[in-house]
Amino acid sequence: GAVVSQHPSWVICKSGTSVKIECRSLDFQATTMFWYRQFPKQSLMLMATSNEGSKATYEQGVEKDKFLINHASLTLSTLTVTSAHPEDSSFYICSARDTTHGTRQETQYFGPGTRLLVL
């Protein structure tokens, strides 16, 4: 149980294009999902908290117009990197809180990550 998928697993795009990454909770409902960014050999950096049916909450320093988040259902959140530039190249990971099973609500389950390379 508690499986989170991400799609695509990797993407290469040209500078100036937009890229959409999907995060799905496969066997549980997740009213809250999280988007992280990770640079090589560094820990996870929280970018934003995605809430189903409402606006996302962004961390300080994260441009909400650059990183658009949509949490349209209890099992799907999307992150769109708009007008991507080479400095946006990174490993993007989503996670989800399992709000279906009470004993697991305080943890987060992570997706496998999406590697983005902007040329």
Partner 1 sequence: QKEVEQDPGPLSVPEGAIVSLNCTYSNSAFQYFMWYRQYSRKGPELLMYTYSSGNKEDGRFTAQVDKSSKYISLFIRDSQPSDSATYLCAMKLTGGGNKLTFGTGTQLKVEL
Residues that bind partner 1 (CB under 8 A): 2, 4, 6, 32, 34, 41-44, 46, 49, 91, 93, 95, 97, 104, 106-113, 115
Least distance (Å) between residue 16 CB and partner 1? 26
CA distance 95 to 112: 9
Q: Give the dihedral sign, CA 21/10/104/28.
A: positive
Least distance (Å) between residue 10 CB and partner 1? 9
Note the Cα 52 to chain centre separation in Å: 13
Q: Pick between residue 15 and residue 62 the one whose CB is nearest to partner 1.
A: 62
Least distance (Å) between residue 24 CB and partner 1? 13
Least distance (Å) between residue 115 CB and partner 1? 7
Q: Pick between residue 77 and residue 83 the one whose CB is nearest to partner 1.
A: 77
